[in-house]
Amino acid sequence: MIPRTSDILWQDAQHQALFEILDLLAEPDSDNEVLQRLYEYTEIHFRLEEYYMVALDYPDLETHRESHDRFREEIACLLEGGIDEPGFRNAVTIFLREWLQRHVFGVDKDLEAFILAADAK
Ligand SMILES: [Fe+2]
Ligand SMILES: [Fe+2]
C-alpha cells in the first residue's frame, strides 16, 4: 500500500536539494566529496520516483528509468575519474544542471501530474 499524499511536496523538496548540491559543486573549493553527495542523494530521489512509478503502474516507467540510469552512469563515471580540475568541474556542473532542469521540468512534471491524479481517485 503506497502512502497517500495530498500533494507531492517531497518531489519539489528533493529537486531543490539536488540543485543546492549542484550549487555547492560549482564552488571553487568543492571536491569529489560533493560529487559523492550528489550521487547518493540522486539515488535516494530516483528510487523514490521509481517506487511510485512501479506502485502506480506508470506507463512511461521504462523510459523514465532509463533516463535516471543515464544520469546515474554519468555521475558514477565522473566519480571514478575525479573532478579536481576547476575548468572541468565547471563544465560538469553546467552539464549536470542542464540535464537536471530538463528532466525535472519535463518528464518529472508528467510523473507529478500522474501521481496527483492517482491520489485524487
Ligand atoms: Fe525522474
Ligand atoms: Fe526527479
CA of 116 to the centre of ligand 1 (A): 15
Q: For residue 106, what are the CA distances in angstroms to 7, 12, 52, 86, 98?
A: 18, 13, 17, 30, 12
CA of 104 to the centre of ligand 2 (A): 5
Helix or strand or coil: residue 120?
A: helix
The C-alpha cell at 90 is 565547471
Q: Which ligand is nearest to the CA of 67?
A: 1
Ligand nearest to the CA of 17: 2
CA atoms within 13 A on the CB side of 115: 25
How many CB atoms lie under 10 A from the CB of residue 57? 9
Ligand nearest to the Cα of 53, by number:
1
Cα–Cα–Cα angle for 110, 115, 120, rounded to 5 degrees: 125
Closest ligand to Cα 18: 2
Tens of pLDDT, residues 61-112: 999 999 999 999 999 999 999 888 888 888 999 999 999 999 999 999 999 9
Encode pLDDT of 1-50 as tens digits.
455 555 678 999 999 999 999 999 999 888 899 999 999 999 999 999 99
Amino acid identity at 117: A
| Domain spans in the chain, listed from the N-terminal domain onward | 29-120
